């Protein structure tokens, strides 16, 4: 049984979390005070969140893909490599920084706050409690973050579309491609991999190295995240269809 004191020691004395967290805080500060100082308060904070997401997303995909490729032991119960632990620390630091953003500026956005807390639980238990299973989580991280750059550009354009014709044009033209890319990653690739992961952990084959409650909690959290992502993109497809249909009807008149 790992004591809470030992876990805390490992987090703050044997990891890169403090370094990465400081980096994300610095990026947020620069975005908030230097890059977007004249934006409206809500848009300013959201754009700053997008900035740290951009710094995290694509690098996380590259690092996670390399960490999986570089480790010859690729299994759902394989021990974490040093590089895999580094990638987990990188993502944990990002989610802590972005969670603070939501707690300060959007404390009633319970969906995103819950998502970040659940993600932090999965990554930290893998990194500091189970010491196994990073392979599965990093594959899921690649699938989740591969759309990050496009999503952040889409979000920034959405923030400014009411004030900028260029932003509105970018948002409208980017939406179908972004939704298609997101659907491919989160609604198709994600569930396929999750089925393999869930089947393995629910079979009990990993219980000799990963506690049953830990692997089960990962299955619940990941399954819930995939369901919410599917619902989110489905609603956006519906909204896009309604908008395009409305424009077509208006032109007919």
Task: Dump pLDDT digits (tens) for 182-233.
Answer: 999 999 999 999 999 999 999 999 999 999 999 999 999 999 999 999 999 9
End-to-end distance of the chain based on CA atoms, in angstroms?
71
User: What is the reported pLDDT for 248?
Assistant: 57
Q: CA Rg, the chain, in Å?
A: 20
User: What is the reported pLDDT for 243?
Assistant: 83
Average pLDDT over residues 156-167: 92
% of the chain residues with pLDDT over 90: 87
Percent of the chain as helix, strand, coil, to the nearest 5: 80, 0, 15
Local structure of 141: helix, strand or coil:
helix
CA atoms within 13 A on the CB side of 204: 0
Please say if the pLDDT value at position 57 is more than 90: yes
What six digits make up the tokens of 19? 């370094």
| C-alpha to C-alpha distance for 137 and 247, rounded to whole angstroms | 42
Higher pLDDT, 229 or 247: 229
User: What is the reported pLDDT for 12?
Assistant: 47
Q: What is the pLDDT of residues 119-140, one digit of tens each?
A: 999 999 999 999 999 999 999 9
Please say if the pLDDT value at position 238 is more than 80: yes
Average pLDDT over residues 4-19: 65
Assign 5 a pLDDT band (cuts: 50, 70, 90): low
Average pLDDT over residues 147-152: 97
Please say if the pLDDT value at position 22 is more than 70: yes
């Amino acid at each position: 049984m790992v004591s809470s004191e030992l876990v805390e020691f490992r987090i703050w004395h044997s990891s890169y979390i403090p370094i990465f967290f400081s980096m994300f805080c610095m990026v947020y500060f620069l975005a908030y005070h230097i890059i977007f100082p004249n934006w409206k308060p809500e848009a300013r904070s959201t754009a700053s969140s997008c900035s740290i997401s951009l710094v995290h997303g694509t690098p996380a995909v590259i690092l996670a893909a390399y960490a999986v490729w570089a480790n010859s032991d690729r299994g759902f119960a394989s021990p974490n490599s040093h590089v895999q632990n580094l990638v987990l620390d990188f993502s944990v630091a990002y989610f802590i920084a972005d969670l603070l953003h939501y707690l300060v500026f959007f404390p009633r956005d319970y969906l995103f706050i819950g998502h970040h807390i659940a993600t932090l639980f999965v990554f930290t238990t893998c990194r500091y409690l189970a010491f196994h299973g990073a392979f599965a989580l990093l594959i899921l991280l690649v699938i989740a973050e591969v759309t990050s750059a496009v999503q952040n550009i889409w979000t920034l354009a959405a923030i400014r579309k009411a004030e900028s014709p260029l932003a509105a044009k970018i948002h409208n033209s980017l939406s179908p491609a972004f939704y298609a890319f997101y659907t491919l990653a989160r609604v198709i690739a994600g569930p396929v991999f999750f089925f393999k992961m869930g089947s393995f952990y629910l079979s009990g084959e990993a219980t000799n190295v990963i506690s049953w409650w830990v692997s089960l909690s990962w299955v619940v959290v990941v399954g819930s995240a995939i369901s919410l992502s599917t619902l989110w993109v489905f609603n956006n497809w519906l909204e896009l269809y309604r908008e395009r249909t409305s424009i077509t009807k208006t032109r007919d008149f």
